[in-house]
Structure 1
Amino acid sequence: MALSKSLTTLRGTGLMLNIVIGAGLLALPGMVVEVAGHQALWAWALCAIVAAPLLLVFVLMGMRFPDAGGISHFAQKAFGRSAYSIASMIFLGAVVFGLPAIALTGGHYLAEAFGGMPSVYAFGLVIAAAGSHLLSTEIAARVSTAIASIVLISLLALVLIGLSVVNWSGADPNVTPLSQIELPVVFAPFMMIFFAFTGWELAAGLSEEFRNPERDFPRAMFLSFIAACLIYFCMAFVAQSVPISGSYKAAFSSILTLAVGEKGRVIMGLLAGLIIYANLLGAIWAVSRMVYALSREGLLPLRLTTTSSGTPLSSVLLVSLALLIVLGFDYAGLLEISHMLELAGQNFLLLYGLSGLALLKLSKRLFDRLVAGSTVAIVVTLMLLQGTSVLYPLCLTVLGVVLARLRSQSTPAARSVTVA
């Protein structure tokens, strides 16, 4: 059954911004300042420049092959079933670190406001988000819909508040002149920042729902990219220009405190907790359904179980357990939020490269092939510069190939679906 073609340029732009601009941005500006200091703004600029041609791949794929399946569909269309499995494993490998990092973002803000350990608050946020799904799918949908735009609205408000407390007479020295930047310093937080430039791979799946995909879809993609970059640069500039008295991972607590006093930490803590809860609610929803679909197709050895309200119980529990295990590593001091963001960012970057290869295979147009080739070259160069961290996506690639082959060798078997 065909999807409803209800999206226009403006509607699509708004929807894409809601997908792309996530709760992780509450932590990233301060964390980048901690790493790159007065050169932080240039690190954001570098990432935006690199992301632009990668975005163009999704624009072209969405125009040429509009489909709700996004990257996985593009990969399967170009390279077959194994590529679908590989793309799915790399995506799951990204979210299993990206979502705990988002939960920890809320944890750091709540710890700034009320004291305690950020990982403990993060545990609570994951459990609360998962619990909402287990209670009722309808309730989860209503909550998610009611606060779908709260992240974007809150970040815009924080940008305005932050700009109002910047000491403009002394702001210029806080940004290193272009002639004095050091590339190793600027490049150091690249993979961490790239996490903020992910989401357009999901937005590519909206192409099928545009009234005029060839005209409105690329406009929405480019407008959302420009708007997101403006928000990112403003937040990065504010974090770089306002003294941070507390944790760099909760920089906007300090910024809001400068604006409204000490109660600003409590306000920011509660606001961040709500934003992260909403973000996790939607993310666990999406990822659990993906796990359910992969299990139903035989790619994951998971017994399918649904509740009477239609919630994929086993998938929600599995996804939540994976997130809690990663948070457990943070609690034990074995993993930092910055490393989680780097691992998630590099996996998404690899998916961008896979999309470039798919476009190179599927399109015979010269312009498309030039864009695709440039994208693949950029991704390969960046991945090589990351050194041993490439081992993680390589392991996921091998896992994807193995699962695809096991699936192809097995006979179609009955898959048990029970009602809890």
Structure 2
Amino acid sequence: MVDQKTPAKGDTVAPTLGRRLSRRKPVEKLVAETESDSGLRRTMGFWQLSMIGIGATLGTGVFVVLGEAVPIAGPAVIVAFVLAGITALFSALAYAEMAGMIPASGSAYSYSYATMGEFMAWVCGWCLMLTYGVSIAAVGVGWGQYINELLHLTTGLVLPPALLAGPLEGGVVNVPAAVVILLSMFALLAGVRESTRVNAVMVAIKVLILVMFVAIAITAVQRGNFAPFMPMGMAGVSAAGATLFFSYIGFDSASTASEEAKNPQRDLPRAIMFSMILVTAIYCLVAFSAVGALNWNDFADGETTLAGILTMVTGTPIWAVVFAAGAVLALASVVLVVLYSQTRILYAMSRDGLIPKAFSKVDAKGTPRANTVITSVFIAALAAFIPLGPLADATAIGTLFAFALVNVAVLVLRRTRSDLERSFRMPGAPVTPVLGVLSCAYLMFSMSLSVWIAFGAWLVVGLIIYFGYSMRRSALEDEPEVDVRV
């Protein structure tokens, strides 16, 4: 339960370091903040929230990673997609319970603040900055490559190499990467209602393109292409599953829209689960059609693409153009939604005093304008000039760490606040959240040492900022100490 310790009148003794690190933000306070007039406008219903989750998830994975996973697992890549989906589902269920109970824009950051204290919340928020910021830049770079491919397929021309990479990679500036991020910025500045409409259109188009792929490729499915079904054994399926897991990252973006949802307690859990189920179904259908239409041995070196399969099936290269256009829309949708999510995480951290207040100031449209501009310009510069290298790979660890903390948050609140109303309850708890933590830990520790070094360096920078700036500027610094007793 919660005990308030009110200092005696005139007592100005600062809280100890231990108190600062472990101070928690009560669930009731978090909920009250979301219900107050924060300036954000509640315009999103179930479908808009679902489109955010699908838009952030359904991207590079299905267009690129499938070709890399088939040589590892063979036709059993279908099973690998299911296994990766189940692994992601544990965390999705945890997000659904927490989002329905604490509908705050801070998402995993806010859940950690309520359960594990300010220090762990800061670490979680810092990890999410890495995850969202660098992944936006990386997707922007990928978008530029697809734009170049589409230009070549339609006109025979290509962009100069100097405009496709930064100076440290032999170019001058990656113009397309910066352009797609800045275009997304302008969409967000137009307002939440307008940007969600743009996202919904892009999501609908890329879903239709994938459905079209399934409808055409399934006509060429041959039973012999599924034998042997598991040529590399279960080890190959597991390895492919680890690769494919990152195709599911993004469903958590819906939770960052909590304070702009009309009925977050009802709609957020439903939107998170719906987006996960739909994305998993699409992935499995695409995988079945792809390996059924083309023998798995022909997926050599991860170079076979969905467009290549359709060209083989139909005998015309027009599908390469269609899929290049689809990939452009798919990646643009990812940039838009993940950039939106990044600004809302920063909004919540700013409201708590951990980063400058400029990030939580909202204009008349309900848009954190300064937040959006500063974040977008910084990430656009990152994508345009800086090689991402191991830092891009480290985003996976940051994501998994945040997922693990959300599962822990479910366990903590189930024990300490069983009285809280839950619009969605994670089935199978406490077993399922424990499995969620373990699956995230397994994938984290399967990564290379260079990735861990990059992640460690990022954490060191975050610790310097927290102890040098954020800890003493926390909104809880001058409030009575709050103990949450387990």
Range class of TM-score, shorter chain:
0.7 to 0.9
How far is the alpha carbon of 1:69 from its aligned partner?
2.3
Question: How many angstroms apart in 1 are the aligned matches of 2:230 and 2:304?
Answer: 30
Q: CA RMSD in A?
A: 4.2
Within the candidate set 35, 41, 48, 1:2 is matched to 35
Question: How many angstroms apart in 2 are the aligned matches of 1:140 and 1:249?
Answer: 40
Q: Map residues 143-162 of structure 1 onto 2, 5 A cutoff.
A: 144-162=195-213
Q: Which residue of 2 aligns with 1:56?
A: 93
Question: How many angstroms apart in 2 are the aligned matches of 1:395 and 1:109?
Answer: 31
Q: Which residue of 1 aligns with 2:82?
A: 45
In the alignment, does 2:317 pair up with 1:262? yes
Further displaced range: 15-24 or 57-66: 15-24
Q: Which residue of 2 aligns with 1:251?
A: 305
In the alignment, does 2:195 pair up with 1:195? no
How far is the alpha carbon of 1:362 from its aligned partner?
2.3
More helix by share: 1
* 1:230-279 Cα shifts (integer Å, max 9, x gaps): 11112223343445899956823324535482233234333433443343
SS of aligned partner of 2:127: helix
How far is the alpha carbon of 1:86 from its aligned partner?
0.8
Structure 2 contact 106–344 (Cα < 8 Å) conserved: no
Q: Which residue of 1 aligns with 2:438?
A: 377
- Based on CA coordinates, which of the two structures has the bigger radius of gyration? 2
Q: Map residues 110-189 of structure 1 onto 2, 5 A cutoff.
A: 110-115=147-152, 116=158, 123-132=174-183, 138=189, 144-166=195-217, 170-175=221-226, 180-189=231-240
What percentage of residue pairs aligned between the two structures are identical? Answer: 18
Q: Map residues 20-419 of structure 1 onto 2, 5 A cutoff.
A: 20-115=57-152, 116=158, 123-132=174-183, 138=189, 144-166=195-217, 170-175=221-226, 180-206=231-257, 209=261, 211=263, 213=265, 216-243=267-294, 248=302, 251-257=305-311, 258-259=313-314, 261-287=316-342, 290=345, 299=354, 310-312=369-371, 313-326=373-386, 328=387, 340=392, 343-364=394-415, 368-388=429-449, 389-408=451-470, 410=472
Stretches of structure 1 that go unaligned for 5 or more consecutive residues are 413-420
TM-score, normalised relative to structure 1: 0.77
TM-score, normalised relative to structure 2: 0.68
Name the amino acid aligned to 2:255. Answer: A
Structure 2 contact 52–253 (Cα < 8 Å) conserved: no
How far is the alpha carbon of 1:280 from its aligned partner?
2.3
Count matched residues. Answer: 403
Name the amino acid aligned to 1:49. Answer: I
Distance 1:316 1:157, change over 3 A: closer
Stretches of structure 2 that go unaligned for 5 or more consecutive residues are 1-33, 153-157, 166-173, 419-426, 475-486
How far is the alpha carbon of 1:406 from its aligned partner?
1.8
SS of aligned partner of 2:99: helix
Further displaced range: 247-256 or 378-387: 247-256
Question: How many angstroms apart in 2 are the aligned matches of 1:397 and 1:41?
Answer: 36
SS of aligned partner of 2:35: coil
SS of aligned partner of 1:407: helix
Further displaced range: 368-377 or 224-233: 368-377
* 1:48-87 Cα shifts (integer Å, max 9, x gaps): 1212222221122123333332111001111222222211
* 1:174-226 Cα shifts (integer Å, max 9, x gaps): 3455665523322334444222212232223455636482x654444333322
Question: How many angstroms apart in 2 are the aligned matches of 1:77 and 1:287?
Answer: 20
